[in-house]
Amino acid sequence: MPDDRPTAKQQRYLRALAEQTGTSFTPPATRAQASREIDRLKKLGTSPRHERSQDRRTVSEAARGDAATPRADEIVGYGSSATWGVGKVTRGHGGGR
């Protein structure tokens, strides 16, 4: 049985098309599947550049963490000896006095 896996060229082209169209794809198992996926992505056309850059920015900002992540100035020490800094803990709204 001949090797029917997608060629490296097809895989590179699929990644480039996915980037241009702002979509993702399931890695194909065969050359025929890769060819069909290439045709599908080519029909989509390119995504406007500003939309792609906005999507990247949104994903990048989401990866930064959330409000529950302690700030560097709230922690003293390193690793297992790290503790909350004295007088640095702030209270949220609605609590306290």
Mapped onto helix, strand or coil, the DSSP state of residue 3 is: coil
In the numeric block, which tokens belong to residue 71? 């700030």
Average pLDDT for 29-41: 95
Q: Give me the torsion for CA of 9, 14, 20, 25, rounded to 10°.
A: -160
pLDDT higher than threshold 90 for residue 65:
no
The chain-wide mean pLDDT, for the chain, equals 80
88 pLDDT band, cuts 50/70/90, is very low
Terminal alpha carbon distance of the chain? 77
pLDDT higher than 50, residue 84 = yes
Retrieve residue 75's tokens.
């922690």
Least confident stretch, 8-12, 39-43, 83-87: 83-87
Alpha carbons 48 and 38: distance in angstroms, whole number: 19
